[in-house]
Each structure stands twice: as structure tokens, then as C-alpha cells.
Structure 1
Amino acid sequence: MSAPRLLISIIIMVSASSSSCMGGKQMTQNYSTIFAEGNISQPVLMDINAVLCCPPIALRNLIIITWEIILRGQPSCTKAYKKETNETKETNCTVERITWVSRPDQNSDLQIRPVDTTHDGYYRGIVVTPDGNFHRGYHLQVLVTPEVNLFQSRNITAVCKAVTGKPAAQISWIPEGSILATKQEYWGNGTVTVKSTCPWEGHKSTVTCHVSHLTGNKSLSVKLNSGLRTSGSPALSLLIILYVKLSLFVVILVTTGFVFFQRINHVRKVL
């Protein structure tokens, strides 16, 4: 199985499971997978509810649990719980969506409800016990499914757009041919819009745009409007008609004026 298909399969499992985080196996209403201790690179779909699990340590052995949260463009946030005094403390934590799953003395896992592009970053849970310290880190990558659309432009080209995806989507064409241009537009929330333009000349009447993305692939087809090759756009045709009519009117006006002035000159000569 290829890497993109494997990742898509993981994302499908993420969206389909429902349970709680137990025994080192993270399972949430929208999100599930198995983690070992250490650092994990984790893709997560935007707008789901995600739970990040601590190392599977029994609460009776817990002394202190600390979550370190490092988000892009923000100061490091720390959420801590001390069992002896049943005290919680937060430092530089301003994101309201990132909270404990429940009371830290009952569940030390962290939840994000729901995930947004601003939650990209590194999360590490550190558990202090009489037997030593244990940690689990997550490199969280938020994925955004792009909106795909395909249309024909006025200059006999096909235009395919993958709007606000994260990461940037890849666009290919069927049948394969020369691509006029592929442009990427970056937005402040980390998403990217990809626009690809393909000439229609030399192709059949139908072309297909194939968009590849970590969240899934999508293909759209469009059939060339045969009238587009000869008559151009409706606006252009209207302008041509108006131009012809105006030209005829000017010719008639000039001819009539010329005849009128000729008659006046003839009458003056007779008098």
C-alpha cells in the first residue's frame, strides 16, 4: 500500500471510532489510533474532536502531570496538575478549545474541541511518578480538505482550482498535455489555493481535472462548449453586433448629410 493511501486509511479510522482513551490506546468520538511512548507525527482532520493521551500510567502512581503546548506564533503554554495538593496551574494558555478531558485527578489526557488550523504545533505530556518520568509528544498537523471546482474560461482553456487546502493539493489533467500555468495562493491560516490552467487546443471535447490530497482524491470533468470556438463569449458577440450596427448608422448618417448638402448647393447655384 502506498504512503498516501495508508495515510488516508488512518484518517478514515480517525473519523470512524468512538470510545475513550484507555491502556495506551487513544480512542475518541471522532479519532482513534495506537501510540507508543516518544514523539509521534500525527495528521488530524480539521473540525473533529481530538484527544491526546498521556503515557498509560495508573493515577494512583501519579505525582505531577504536565502538558507543554507549543503552537506556531504563540508563547509556550503549560498546563500542570499536582496530585498531592489537587492543584492545577496554567501558564500562557490562551486557547480556550484546548482543555483537560475532565478533572485531571480523573483523566490526565488533553482534548481539542474541535481542531482548527491554529492548533498546528507540538504537544507533550510529561508524567512524574515514583518510578521516574514518562513522556509522550505529538507533532500535530491539521489537514484541511480543499474545495475543488472546474470550469471553462473565455479564452478556450480549462481552469481547475483546489481552494484552501492544507497542505497544498496537486493537480493533474486527463488527457495529459501542456499546462499553461499552475499558481499557488497562500492564506493567513496556513491553507493554500492551487489553480491550474490547461489549454483546450489539441484535446478532445472533454477534459478531466484530478486533484490529489492527503485527505482524499477527487476528479471532475467538463465538456467544451462547441460554440465557444467560433462565436466566443456572449458578451463579445453582443459587442460585435453593436459595433456593426453603429458603423451602419454612421455610414447612413454621413451619406444622408452629403446628399442634403449637395441639394442645398444645387439650389443656391440655380438662384
Structure 2
Amino acid sequence: MKAGTNMKIAQKTVYVFVLLATTMVMRLAGNHIVSVTIGNSSVLTCPIQGQISMLIWKITPKVGGLCTLVYRTDTNMTHKTNCSDNMNWTFSADLAPALEIQQVGIAQEGNYSCEVASTEGNFHTTYHLTVLAPPRLSLYCDEQGSPVCEAAAGKPPAQLSWLPESSSSTEEKCHDNGTVTVLSKFTACSTNGTNVTTCVVSHPAGNWSQSIACCSSEKTNFFLYACIICVLIITTLLAVIYCFKLHSDRLCHKTKPPEIAPIHSQQDDTMEVEPYTTYVQKENVIYNSVSDLTVRQNLPQDLCPET
């Protein structure tokens, strides 16, 4: 048991010693961490001593293959292999050679190593370039009326907090390009009469805050309930009136008396027929008189009847 404990202590001691040694070597080798916001430019210098004969930049990005830039003083020429067009290598008489990266993108993140051979010896400097992507902040109210704060596509992930402080739930969504979207939901409304909440976003590229009012107050709830009740009452009254009118129309239809045809008396028919009869009789008398006269004129005198 004691031997096992001593073994664990020895392992931890060796681990700490290796860690300290690695940190010391990195400092002596001139390792530096450089952070740049996406879209900006970054300049990396390569310190030299004495007269240089050769300078080499070796770039190992997280995306893509190895990029090398070589300069030789004997030929006064530079050579670039597998490097992007936004990398410019400049020289100046009073300044150390500088590597400028214009409009830095996430693809440029990685290690940049500078090796120099001069009359004073060989020198080595390494930069670890970290690209910062500021998140896109949005603040809105969800369907339940709770404030939701979203810091989209940030690198590294943003830190979200609320004012006033209260309980909240946070979730993260990682993207293929290395950025992370952080979503925080404010789960409690203020009870002191103020419903304004503020989302505070902390990020290495900057800090932001935005406020919103989502949770409804008691007065708003009362007004909403009153409107709902009024709508229900009006709907009920209209339904009752419609049913009453429909029932009344049915009763009136059932109690309507049958239509009675008008009664014509025989006397009326006789009065309507008598003028026509008299007219016909007169016509007949006239016709008979005319006929007798015509016959007498056409007969011979011998055959004419005696009058």
C-alpha cells in the first residue's frame, strides 16, 4: 500500500517536472501567442542578429498543408510554396523581416515558425496565431414569454450572463469551422415590478449587452383576461340571438293560416254573362232582318210571298 502511494507521488513529480521543462524550453525558443480578430491584419516579425544568410518561414495552419517562404541573401530572392495570396513578406533596412497576413480568416489559424541563419548563429521563433470570431448577438422572447439570448458563431465560445441575476439554462452548438453558438434562456421573471432583462456577452474580441422586456406584468395579464372574457360574452349573446330568431321563424311558419280562394257568387257570373247575351240577341235580330230582305229581292215576282 505504501509502495503504491510512493509510486503515485513519483509519477506526479515527474509530470510536473516535464511540464515545467516544456514551458521553459518554449520560452527560450521564443514561442508567442498572438490573437487577431477575423477580418483584421496581423504582422509577425522575425528577430535577427548579425548578417543573415537565410531566413525561412514555416507555417502549419489548422486547415491545409505546410506553407514555406524562403529568402537567401546570396541570390536576393524569395520563394513561396503552398501559401495563400493574403500573405506578404516585407523587408526593411532598419526593421526585422515581417510577415503580414491581410484579412485573417479562420483558415490562417495555426503555428508560424521563423528560422534564421546568421553570422551570430541560428535563431528560432514560433508564433501560435489564434483567430477570434466575435459572435453575432441576438435577443428575443420565446413562445412562453421568456428572454432568450443567442451569441452565434463565436470563437472561442462567448460567456453569457443576465442582469438582474437569476436562474438560466445554457446550451452550446458547435459548427464545422470551429465556431460555437451559445444559447441562454432566462427562466425567471422579475417580481419587483420591472420586467426588463439585460443579456451581457463577454468575449475576447469584445463585450456587448442588450436589454429586452418579455415577461408580462399583472396589469397586462388582467387586460388580456378581460379581453378574452368580453369576446366570449359577445359570442354567446350573438349565438343566443341567432337561435331565438331561428326558433321564431319556425313558429311563424307553422302557425300561418292557409290561403282561402276568393268566393264568386252565381249572381256575379250572371251579371257578367247578361250583357253578352243581350248583345248576341240584338245581333241575331239584325241578321235575320237583313237575310229576309235579301231573299225577297232575289226571288221572281211570281214567287215572292205575299206580305
Band the TM-score falls in, shorter-chain normalisation: 0.5 to 0.7
Give 1:73 shift. 2.3
The 1:191/1:261 distance shift into structure 2, 3 A limit, reads same
Once the two structures are TM-superposed, the CA of residue 267 in structure 1 deviates from its matched residue by 3.6
1:163 aligned to which of 139, 144, 152: 152
CA distance in 1, matches of 2:139, 2:47: 47
Summarize the alignment of residues 48-59 of structure 1 with structure 2, pairs less than 5 Å apart: 48-58=40-50
CA distance in 2, matches of 1:220, 1:62: 54
Is residue 2:174 matched to residue 1:186? Answer: yes
Q: 1:54 to 1:245 in 2, by over 3 A?
A: farther
Aligned pair count? 229
Q: 1:144 to 1:244 in 2, by over 3 A?
A: farther
Opposite residue 69 of structure 2, the aligned amino acid is K
Shift of 1:252: 4.5
The 5 A counterparts of 1:116-195 are 116-179=105-168, 181-195=169-183
Give the aligned residue type for 2:99. Answer: L
CA RMSD between the two structures: 3.6
SS class of match (1:134): strand
Q: CA deviation at 1:211?
A: 2.0
User: How far has the Cα of 1:132 moved from its partner?
Assistant: 3.6
Correspondence 1:115 to 2:104? yes
Whole-angstrom CA distance in 1 between matches of 2:109 and 2:251: 85
Spell out the pairing of 1:199-238 with structure 2 (5 A cutoff): 199-204=187-192, 205=194, 206-223=196-213, 226=217, 228-230=220-222
Q: What residue number does 1:19 align with?
A: none
Is the 8 Å Cα contact of residues 156 and 228 (structure 1) preserved in structure 2? no
Q: Quote how far apart the aligned CAs of 1:115 are.
A: 2.1
Question: Could you tell me how far apart the structure 1 residues matched to 2:172 and 2:115 are?
Answer: 40
Q: 2-side partners of 1:63 and 1:39: how far apart?
A: 23
What is the CA-CA distance between 1:118 and the residue it aligns to?
A: 2.4
Q: Is the aligned partner of 1:198 residue 2:198?
A: no
With the length of structure 2 as denominator, give the TM-score of the two structures.
0.61
Q: Distance in 2 between matches of 1:140 and 1:172?
A: 28
**Larger helix share, 1 or 2:** 2
**Hey, what does 1:91 align to over in structure 2?**
81
- Seen in structure 2, the aligned counterparts of structure 1 residues 172 and 264 have a Cα distance that, compared at 3 Å, is same
SS in 2 for 1:47: coil
Superposition deviation, residue 225 in structure 1: 5.4
Contact 1:101/1:107 (<8 A) preserved: no
Q: Secondary structure at the match of 1:217?
A: strand
Instruction: Name the one with the larger strand percent.
Output: 1
Q: Shift of residue 169 of structure 1?
A: 0.8
Partner of 2:7 in structure 1? none
Distance 1:188 1:240 in 2: 52
On the 8 A contact 1:125/1:136 being kept in 2, the answer is: yes
Q: 2:33 aligns with which of 41, 56, 75?
A: 41
Q: 240-249 or 106-115: which moved more?
A: 240-249
Please tell me whether the aligned partners of residues 67 and 126 of structure 1 are also in contact (alpha carbons under 8 angstroms).
yes
**Which structure would you say has the larger RCO, counting Cα contacts within 8 Å and 6 or more residues apart?**
1
Q: 1:97 touches 1:113 (CA, 8 Å); kept in 2?
A: yes
Q: Which has the larger radius of gyration?
A: 2
Change (3 A) 1:126 1:247: farther
**Among the aligned pairs, what percent are the same residue?**
31
Q: Which amino acid aligns with 1:178?
A: S
TM-score, structure 1 normalization: 0.68
